[in-house]
Amino acid sequence: MSDMNPKGDGDSQQMAGAYSKSEILSQPECWADCLKQLREGSRIGEIEKRFRSFSEWLFIGCGSSYYLALAAAASWTAITGTPARAIPASELLLFPDLALVGRGDIAPVLISRSGRTSEVLRAAQFLNQKKISTIAISCAAGQKLEELATISILLPRADELSTVMTRSFTSMLLALQYLAASLGGKTEFIRALSALPEAGEKLLQTLPVRVRQFMGQHRFSDYVCLGQGPYYGLACESMLKLMEMSCSYAQCFHPMEFRHGPKSIVTRETLITFLLSETGYDAEREVLEEIKGLGGTTLVMANKVENRARAAADLVIELDCDLPEYARLAPYVFAGQLMGLYAGLQKGLDPDRPRNLSRVVILKEDEERPEHAAI
d(C-alpha 319, C-alpha 331), whole Å: 8
Does pLDDT of 1 surpass 50? Answer: no
Gap between the Cα atoms of 31 and 62, Å rounded: 22
**Per residue in 321-348, pLDDT tens?**
999 999 999 999 999 999 999 999 999 9
pLDDT tens track for 208-257: 999 999 999 999 999 999 999 999 999 999 999 999 999 999 999 999 99
Secondary structure (DSSP) of 189-245 = HHHHHHHHHHHHHHHHTTHHHHHHHHHHT---SEEEEEE-TTHHHHHHHHHHHHHHH
**Proportion of the chain above pLDDT 70, given as a percent:** 91
Q: Does domain 16-198 have CATH number 3.40.50.2300?
A: no
Mean pLDDT value across the chain: 92
Using DSSP, state whether 110 is helix, strand or coil: strand
Instruction: Determine the 3-state secondary structure of 115 from DSSP.
Output: coil
Whole-Å CA distances, 48 to 64, 83, 183: 26, 17, 6
Cβ partners under 8 Å of residue 95, min gap 6: none
Centre a 10 Å sphere on the Cβ of residue 114 and count the other Cβ atoms it contains: 22
The 10s digit of each residue's pLDDT in 100-111 is 876 678 999 999
Closest CA to 174 of 199, 150, 151, 147: 199
What H or E segment, with its residue span, contains residue 186? none
pLDDT of residue 365: 66
Q: How far apart are the first and last CA of the chain?
A: 30
Averaged pLDDT for residues 258-279: 96
- Which homologous superfamily does the CATH classification assign to the domain defined by 202-346? Glucose-6-phosphate isomerase like protein; domain 1 (3.40.50.10490)
Is the confidence at residue 6, as pLDDT, over 80? Answer: no
Q: Cα–Cα distance between 369 and 276 in angstroms, integer?
A: 43
What confidence score (pLDDT) does residue 4 get? 40
Q: Of 248, 259, 254, which is closest to residue 218 (Cα–Cα)?
A: 248
At residue 182, the pLDDT reads 97
Parse the chain into domains and list their residue ranges: 16-198, 202-346
Dump pLDDT digits (tens) for 116-136.
999 999 999 999 999 999 999
**56-61 and 106-111 beta bridge pairing:** parallel
How confident is the model over 289-323, as pLDDT tens digits?
999 999 999 999 999 999 999 999 999 999 999 99
pLDDT band at residue 13 under the 50/70/90 scheme = low
The band of 370, judged by pLDDT with boundaries at 50, 70 and 90, is very low
Residue 83: its pLDDT value, please? Answer: 94
So what's the pLDDT on residue 106? 93
Spatial separation of the C-alpha atoms in residues 236 and 165, rounded to whole Å:
13
HSE value, Cβ hemisphere, 13 Å, CA-based, for 281? 13
Average pLDDT over every residue of 154-172: 97
Report yes or no: 190 and 181 within 8 Å, Cβ to Cβ: yes
Predicted pLDDT at 101: 75
- pLDDT of 8 over the 50 cut: no
pLDDT at 9 over 80: no
Residues 250-268, mean pLDDT to the nearest whole number: 96
Answer for the pair 173, 155: CB distance below 8 angstroms, yes or no. Answer: no
Could you check whether 16-198 and 202-346 share the same CATH topology?
Answer: yes
